[in-house]
A and B are shown apart, each in its own frame.
Chain A
């Protein structure tokens, strides 16, 4: 679902933030729809956390406006904004029980004790820890603590949920499990959610839309599939997923010469003779198990230089005939690798999917 089809929950207009001479964020414009889960993703130092903290009112933007539900909250202190937040460190109060932690924001609202108790119970059940109320945070595992932090943030039913690298402190298995749980929970509660992460896999698997950031700017906004399939900048192509970058020259409409080989793509609009870079993902290939690849367009043959075994699939670095030493990364499922005899030194036929190739002008 696109923003236009949802009610707008949050809008950022021209957000700019400088720390002294260092510009952390510049001209950030973004609209987030109600009920959406949006990930800010980018390398460390790209400004994603700063942007989240500006939305939370924990940092003040140098210029620009933050509008939540039609209300301008640009200058409002954190307590005057409507959101719940979960930090990487969980920030659970160590001296309070789980029940007291979850009820922390409720007690302040002068609700009847029974009402609070019911709400705490509801939330603990929601995050799958109904019996942990009388424990202390230190008695729970990292993943459990993060669930409690989530329950605490949702207790006051905020219209916006902010997650600051919520899974970074967890081990790989726990992280993967919590990914699914958070997503499911967010859908069920329907709360608009912004999550900051440096993990592209996390961003792609969880979000409705991904905001890819780099050096204080937004590089691209789109659904996970859009940004992965159609990256608009070399940075996005490189940051999300694996990619091989090939030096090439344009030799005609959609045709590019890599080394001594000419490839046909659907990427037009580049002047003949211009130096470009082709961005290819390891899966942008057709292999011999799905037909005679030699007769397909962009048929190639490459010698396997080495193979990384990654579990269900292998990633092979190929020295492609005619590429003049430029290496190409290609995925093989484990079965394909066995059937096609992928091992160091083997020569493997394959064809490139020309329609998938992204072309970017080369700026020296």
Chain B
């Protein structure tokens, strides 16, 4: 070090500016209390209402478990419970192996253009689950193009369980794929090298290294698919024919018969299997830690012509199916009368919407999705920040953490019914929210809170834990460091969260279907109505609009991320010299 004379007194003019510390502490604790209260009011209390109302009769008198016994005694229940189970299990058993093979091909082989196939397979995330149901009706329905092919599989009609399972597999596939892509993304090359040095055949390496490594991913993926199918409402409605499932039972009880107590009962019943799945998943995840150590050497697959050719064929076939299913609905939305008159028309988009009175639905959806993206990203990131980077209030923390993870275990329908019971209650001072756009936004943010919360927490955990301590020692208030360091460094995660909220807000049906008013009809919900009215063309048109919107906005988000990252994240790319 050079010999510049420096003394402490030389810098004496830099005397500490008195900071108002009590206010800083107050902000930290106040923020935590705010997050806890918000989660309590908009998640826990609505769900708690389910328990209360399930024990009331229609007049509001306490009847204990009478509602449950009435429901279990009805043959309709046994029927829809069985249907739901078969539907969810079949979807899981078909989707997870396909998704695993696809993920394996992308991550662990040397097929060309893995990124392209991956993106095609993830496309259905941009679409409401109903889109697949509509496509399968176009393809295999009564006027279906490939209706003849049904008889090869011994089927009379696509309506019913076969169609439901097919459409659900399509909708659930990308969700399972994302988990499995992550599970197969990292592997320790040293394990494979050790196996090679012991002359292990390929199939044995797969069974003893690859599969165990992805075990937890497989279990998680199965849970996610099963949960999605159990709480799916749109697909059975559109392509289920007269097959009844629990999710439709709820809808009928609540919207059809205004029987809130019975709705609460079915909601709780629906919550049970999902809750069990969630707890198993949680236990599995806890054991997963430290599978990969910091010393792991990333695995690079070597070319194997036979394997790569077979996997490429599979991947191309799957991608073709994905494009066919999406393309079918898009195509159907532009033709006059499927399959008789295939000339081009925009009528489904114009007159069709007008006729059904849903021409404002798309605008509502975009508005709702924009608010969910902006508001959701701010709230989720703020909540995660307060949880991760403040100190004190040790009793409040586990409560917030538990509540933040709860939405993952709550099917959308159950959340929606909780909302209707809670906010529709005459004594609730927040009742004015019912039927507004605000409640749709809040419900959507809560519905998708868990994964966004996890994204935010992961990003925040990557920051040095001592930033706040350093700032305090430099007398810089925490909010300045939040604004100058935390937010800029976490910007990519923030944009991801906003995009996730936006796309889900565009496509979601399950929770908001109980909460919309004629003024706030959403695009995805209007598909059900259009289909019910027999207007499959306009239903497809609406689904197409949603896909297009999600795709364009996703692309815009990527551009935004690219621009912002280039402007604010120069440090990420600064070359070392």
Residues of A within 8 A of B (CB): 56-58, 76-85, 87, 89-91, 93-96, 104-106, 108-111, 115, 119, 122-123, 125-128, 130, 135-139, 152-153, 155-159, 162, 181, 184-185, 188-191
CA distance A57 to B11 in the complex (A): 24
Q: Which residues of A contact B279 (CB under 8 A)?
A: none
Q: Which residues of A contact B489 (CB under 8 A)?
A: 94-95
Q: Within 8 Å of chain A (Cβ to Cβ): is B350?
A: no
Q: Which of A77, A94, A108, A109 makes the CB contact (< 8 A) with B480?
A: A108
Q: Within 8 Å of chain A (Cβ to Cβ): is B259?
A: no
CA distance A190 to B488 in the complex (A): 36
Interface size class, chain B: 35 or more
Is B14's CB under 8 angstroms from A119's CB? yes
Is B14's CB under 8 angstroms from A91's CB? no
Is B569's CB under 8 angstroms from A95's CB? yes
Q: A78-B473, A139-B576 are in contact. Are A128 and B13 (CB under 8 A)?
A: no
A94-B571, A105-B475 are known contacts; what are 15 more A-B pairs with Cβ within 8 Å? A58-B472, A77-B25, A79-B19, A91-B469, A93-B485, A105-B474, A109-B16, A109-B17, A119-B14, A123-B6, A126-B6, A153-B473, A155-B474, A189-B6, A189-B8
User: Most chain-A CB neighbours within 10 Å: which of B7, B25, B466, B572?
Assistant: B466
Is A91's CB under 8 angstroms from B464's CB? yes
CA distance A207 to B338 in the complex (A): 87
CA distance A128 to B19 in the complex (A): 32
| Interface CB pairs A-B, < 8 A, 13 | A85-B469, A85-B473, A89-B466, A91-B469, A93-B481, A94-B571, A95-B568, A96-B485, A104-B471, A104-B476, A109-B14, A109-B475, A189-B8
Residues of B within 8 A of A (CB): 1-2, 4-17, 19, 21, 24-25, 464-467, 469-477, 480-481, 484-485, 488-489, 568-572, 574-577
Is B1's CB under 8 angstroms from A181's CB? yes
User: Closest B-chain residue to A128, C-beta based?
Assistant: B1
Q: A89-B464, A91-B467 are in contact. Are A106 and B569 (CB under 8 A)?
A: no
Q: Which of B19, B467, B469, B577 makes the CB contact (< 8 A) with A80?
A: B19
CA distance A203 to B9 in the complex (A): 27
Give min CB distance, A268 to chain B, whole Å: 47
CA distance A115 to B19 in the complex (A): 21
Give min CB distance, B492 to chain A, whole Å: 12
Q: Which residues of B contact A85 (CB under 8 A)?
A: 469-470, 473
CA distance A194 to B471 in the complex (A): 19
Q: Which residues of B contact A130 (CB under 8 A)?
A: 2
Q: Which of B12, B16, B576 makes the CB contact (< 8 A) with A138?
A: B576
User: Closest B-chain residue to A116, C-beta based?
Assistant: B14
User: Closest A-chain residue to B1, C-beta based?
Assistant: A128
Q: Which of B14, B472, B473, B574 makes the CB contact (< 8 A) with A106?
A: B14
Is A95's CB under 8 angstroms from B6's CB? no
Is A190's CB under 8 angstroms from B474's CB? no
Give min CB distance, A324 to chain B, whole Å: 45
In order of increasing CB-CB distance, the 10 nearest A-B pairs are A105-B474, A78-B472, A157-B11, A136-B571, A91-B466, A128-B1, A91-B464, A79-B472, A136-B574, A87-B466
Is B472's CB under 8 angstroms from A93's CB? no
Give min CB distance, A104 to chain B, whole Å: 6
Is B470's CB under 8 angstroms from A91's CB? yes
Q: Which of B1, B7, B25, B475 makes the CB contact (< 8 A) with A108?
A: B475
CA distance A188 to B473 in the complex (A): 22
Give min CB distance, B551 to chain A, whole Å: 31
User: Closest A-chain residue to B490, C-beta based?
Assistant: A95
Q: Which residues of A contact B24 (CB under 8 A)?
A: 77, 79
Q: Which residues of B contact A110 (CB under 8 A)?
A: 17
Is B574's CB under 8 angstroms from A56's CB? no
Q: A77-B25, A78-B472, A111-B13 are in contact. Are A126 and B466 (CB under 8 A)?
A: no
Is B473's CB under 8 angstroms from A157's CB? no
CA distance A85 to B6 in the complex (A): 19
Q: Which residues of B contact A139 (CB under 8 A)?
A: 574-577
Give min CB distance, B97 to chain A, whole Å: 42
Is A188's CB under 8 angstroms from B5's CB? yes
User: Closest A-chain residue to B9, C-beta based?
Assistant: A157
Give min CB distance, A143 to chain B, whole Å: 12
Give min CB distance, B388 to chain A, whole Å: 15
Q: Which of A56, A93, A108 makes the CB contact (< 8 A) with B467?
A: A93
Q: Which residues of B contact A78 (CB under 8 A)?
A: 469, 472-473
CA distance A157 to B9 in the complex (A): 8
